[in-house]
Structure 1
């Protein structure tokens, strides 16, 4: 059994030796240590393993008797042994490259699942600021340290600068954020509604022909369950605000996408592209071609923001942007 122990100690020489000696006598092994300096005290966080039969209360009492104060002991998994800065860097990668929800990633990094705390004194609240000035709050029974607050804000600021956490329309009070996922038959109505909210120009860029609305059920069904590929959507709350079709056409993988006007220039097209590239790579594709109308410069910019090296060709008034998938990480079906 592993525990994370957080304790406040006097900032004096030898105090850690006293803690280590007490743990050694009790058969508790120290596997990890982080120091969060404060003045005039210091907060230490240790990951420890204990003998069979030990409880959270017993672990907390051991550290309190050895000179610690404000001791909290919570059960944790082996993931807590991973270096903290490495975990945060991986978190940034997951948000930017895999399209994960930044709120979900922060909850994992800060381990906010309700712990069995030996001496519960109420939840601490961590308030982080988004790019648009709105707040993202995270709460936890174990108080946050200044270092954790700084790390979390740095991660949020980094992904905010990349434009993946704040859409043009402010998320609802329920904290809805864009999520990229595969589509299914349950999305027929939402995909139809997305197209009805799009302008004539946006629809033309996607389909290269004038599109009659409202959309027929047959067409909507083909858009969410294509014959030779898969459909992807960007969902915010209960609304689908972006859609794309990844298809195998004449032995070549192609991707065509649409993002409704109010959500354009917020990085959603780039996230759809990255996800589509990962799914195409998983399906065995060596390259992927994005197809759009010849006048759609936004798609070219989105390809650049996604970090792809592309070959651009024109076919019958349309633009084909082909990118190699050699350095793209495959994404399994979710």
Structure 2
């Protein structure tokens, strides 16, 4: 096995090593996992990669900054290209993603404002209605987004989150995620588990903008997003009798 590139991401109490390696064609992913695990690696995952994975990461992030300054709407594509759905985000990657998201938002605000969506009726102020297991985002009488808690899975709570296409990239998904995370924490969950289609590009920027820590993995059912609720202030809503 030949190591072609190495990125080290220090975190509190742990270090994540991201390696690009060249192996004989006869090797399988399971063989690489066994080798690294036997050398002391923990939570090892292996995925195929291409030549773009050999690009210097700081340089790649600087190029992404240049693009989102010129084209803020390219944020999703840039974050997906940089992080993908194949690795657990390190603390360093989350800080970088949050910074890139902020740069794109500032560039968007600095540009010529787009006309309001045709679905906007009445007030353009978003109000969040928190119920026992649901958070709704409303603009006037219209619901433009929703986040809902479902069943417990081990020590986590499954949840769904959706924002109407015309109202995306306005911070609504970020607020919904924070609110529904508070509801989950109020129920004693240690993490929030979100499922999304494998082609969904909004997962990375929403998680980055929320400032919350999460792990994103590609599963046969789609993207599995595990959001840590450590430090999240619980929100409790009792059902009406």
* TM range, smaller chain: 0.3 to 0.5
By relative contact order (CA 8 Å, sep 6+), the higher-ranking structure is 2
Name which one, 1 or 2, has greater alpha-carbon Rg: 1
**TM-score by structure 2 length?**
0.47
**TM-score by structure 1 length?**
0.34
